[in-house]
Amino acid sequence: MIKTDIIIIGAGPTGLFAVFEAGLLKLKCHLIDALPQPGGQCSEIYPKKPIYDIPGFPEILAGDLTTNLLEQCKQFKPGFTLGERAEKIEKNKDNIFIVTTNKGTKHQAPIVAIAGGLGSFEPRKPSIENLSFYEDKGVEYIIKNPEIYKNKSVLIAGGGDSALDWTIFLVNMGTKVTLVHRRNEFRGALDSVEKVRELKNQNKVDIITPAQVIELKGKNKVESAVISKENNEILEIQIDHFIPLFGLSPRLGPIGEWGLEIEKNSIKVDTFDYQTNVPGVFAIGDINTYPGKLKLILCGFHEATLMCQSAYKIINPNKKHIFRYTTVSGVDGFDGTRKEAEKPVVRSLND
Amino acid sequence: MSDIKISIKDRENKTHEILAPTDMSMNLMEVIRSYELAPEGTLGVCGGMAMCASCQCYITSNHKIDDMGDEEEAMLSEAFNTKANSRLSCQIFIKKELDGLMCEIAPEEL
């Protein structure tokens, strides 16, 4: 059981900044995110795109903003549960929240802050009629353990970086790979495209384009795939695994079933402190809604800041607290570091 | 008068005749969202960067629309439910030449 003061669901910019604001109030945070890396949309969808409306940054790449936010909050030593989706939230007899992930990791805290952005990122699945039947029976959307594909026959579908990168990786590992894409052109880093072309010229990979997988066959697990080519040619190939790699798309997911008031696919909050209808559960950033809501990173920062003030009062109901400026009070990290403004040197001219 | 008329069929097959301003640098995805013709969070998810295909629509009139850029073409090549007249509505900018445009919002990818 991971114990902390605030469980933050979602490690995007809002969640990361909440760690900093909580840290100023000496509250510890632990972040849970379905993606394997922090940054949320900023690292998953548009890391190389510039953002122009972060105060103080005339222009910053989304990926750099994530790096900076991680640097800013690292002194408060946040914990991370990455690559796992927050699945269930419940309260124990002491009124403490327990958040459990899809992999069974349990987290405990008196406060939960949902900073889930657009929801958790789930693999986009092609529309093949019997696809779900074969899930975990030869159909995988994310490659977790490449070893299982050694000396097997694998069909990969997709035309982006992950389809190309995994093709290269698996071929080099000794897997028989067939790559199917709906166009002749691939959308990936130039050197990945070149490498795959090289492998094709060496007959180390079968590439079928423009084509798509239309049917899977097999009694208890995937045994073959039917592929339709653009010229209406149909072919069937024997395979052990089918890996469709069509990217990820966000879904509200289990959060929608946590008894929170939902409006327009977002969580309704009180703008006093961004608390939901469940006391102790807050929603900040793109995932919440209230009159006048704007889905902007800078609004998420503001919401995170106010949320932390309320969280402090819930955790420390009898402790006196006064809001202070970092310029005046400095910042004491949980790692023993201290940042503070240099003291002005005052000297008399007569010395 | 800087508005143009656009006919949009939503995902429930209901057709809406709407007015879109040509002087607000809006794209078709933003127009659809401003009229709330698709549930929040199901259209224009990436905000209009051609990085998701949630705003895919089918153009059903014969208007001459600007050619696709590389990003739009690449995204549509990976999208589902595509047809020959598929476009990402976030890449179609509202201008007076599009007066009378007719389109249909593609089904949500599930």
- For A45-85, the pLDDT digits (tens) are 888 889 999 999 999 999 999 999 999 999 999 999 998 99
> B2 or A18: whose pLDDT is higher?
A18
Q: How far apart are CA A260 and CA A257, in angstroms?
A: 7
Chain B, residues 37-96, CB within 8 A of chain A, namely: 39-42, 45-46, 49, 51-52, 54, 74, 77-78, 80-81
Contact predicate A343/A328, CB 8 Å? no
Strands A176-180 and A205-208: parallel
Cross-strand pairs, A332? A338
pLDDT tens for A158-182 read 988 889 999 999 999 999 999 999 8
Look up the ipTM and state it.
0.77
Q: What is the mean pLDDT of chain A?
A: 92
Pairing type for strands A241-244 and A153-157 reads: parallel
Mean pLDDT within A112-124: 89
- Chain A residues closer than 8 Å to B54 by CB: 249
Nearest CA-CA partner of A163 in A225, A247, A229, A83:
A247
- Angle between helix A297-315 and helix A13-24 axes, rounded to 10 deg: 40
Give the pLDDT of residue A253.
Answer: 83
The answer to whether the beta carbons of residues A265 and A252 sit under 8 Å apart is: yes
Classify domain B3-105 at the CATH class level.
alpha beta
Which one-letter amino acid corresponds to residue A268?
K
Instruction: Specify whether the CB–CB gap between A269 and A290 falls below 8 A.
Output: yes
Q: Which residues contact A219 (CB under 8 A, 6 or more apart)?
A: none
What is the enclosing helix (H) or strand (E) of A168? helix A161-173
Which domains does chain A carry?
2-121+249-339 (3.50.50.60), 131-246 (3.50.50.60)
Check residue A69 and give its pLDDT: 98
* Chain A contact present for B109, CB below 8 A: yes
pLDDT grade for B89, boundaries at 50, 70 and 90: very high
A348: pLDDT confidence band, cut at 50, 70 and 90?
Answer: confident
Residue numbers in B near A141 (CB within 8 A): none
What's the DSSP call for residue B40? T
Range from A227-236, A238-247, B43-52, B95-104 carrying the lowest mean pLDDT: B43-52
- Residue A118 and residue A286 in contact, taking contact as beta carbons nearer than 8 Å: yes
Query: B57: part of which helix (H) or strand (E)?
Result: strand B56-59
Does the distance separating the beta carbons of A118 and B41 come in below 8 Å? Answer: yes
Residue B23, classed as helix, strand or coil, is coil
